[in-house]
Amino acid sequence: MKKFLWLIVGLIVLGIIALATPGKLTLPILIPIATTTPSPTPSPTPIPTPPSNSGPGLTAAVVAKHNNAASCYTIISNKVYDLTDWINQHPGGEGAILSICGIDGTNAFNDQHGGQGRPERILQNFYLGNLTN
């Protein structure tokens, strides 16, 4: 019976403490709610803008301007190549490359190297783009 009375007294004391300090008791409940970090809004993936087709492109006229050792473009089978860096590396001499700067070098290339694997492979390193009208 005595134990029961102590229990009652204990509960009353706890009740008084709870009423006197409402903030402290509710705080642990509120903190997790208040500190929940909002999930960041996913930013939209930027869509790359396609290159504008307003420029002249790789026309024969553009190639014709690159007709020297400072800048050497050539056309081979309707594809444009920038051979500037190849001029002084060419095993067949600088003159052979310089002779096709700014013009269509298809025949010159094919006459010399048609069907040869190595020159064809090296040529691909200098590909700029397809010839446009």
d(CA 107, CA 76): 8
d(CA 75, CA 81): 6
Our finding on whether 102 is near ligand HEM (CB under 6 A) is: no
How many residues belong to the chain? 133
Mapping DSSP to helix (H, G, I), strand (E, B) and coil, where does residue 131 land? coil
Shortest separation between residue 49's beta carbon and ligand HEM, angstroms? 34
Shortest separation between residue 97's beta carbon and ligand HEM, angstroms? 6
d(CA 34, CA 112): 78
| Contact range with ligand HEM by CB under 6 A, out of 11-19, 21-29, 61-69, 83-91 | 83-91
Subset of residues 41 to 80 that bind ligand HEM, contact rule: CB under 6 A: none
The residues, any chain, with a CB within 8 Å of residue 63's CB and separated by 6 or more, are 73, 74, 75, 80, 102, 103, 131
d(CA 87, CA 93): 8
| Contact range with ligand HEM by CB under 6 A, out of 19-27, 36-44, 65-73, 111-119 | 111-119
Our finding on whether 118 is near ligand HEM (CB under 6 A) is: yes
Q: Which residue, 21 or 112, is less far from ligand HEM as judged by CB?
A: 112
Judged by CB under 6 A, the number of residues near ligand HEM is 18
Task: Report the residue from 22, 48, 50, 91 that binds ligand HEM according to the rule CB under 6 A.
Answer: 91
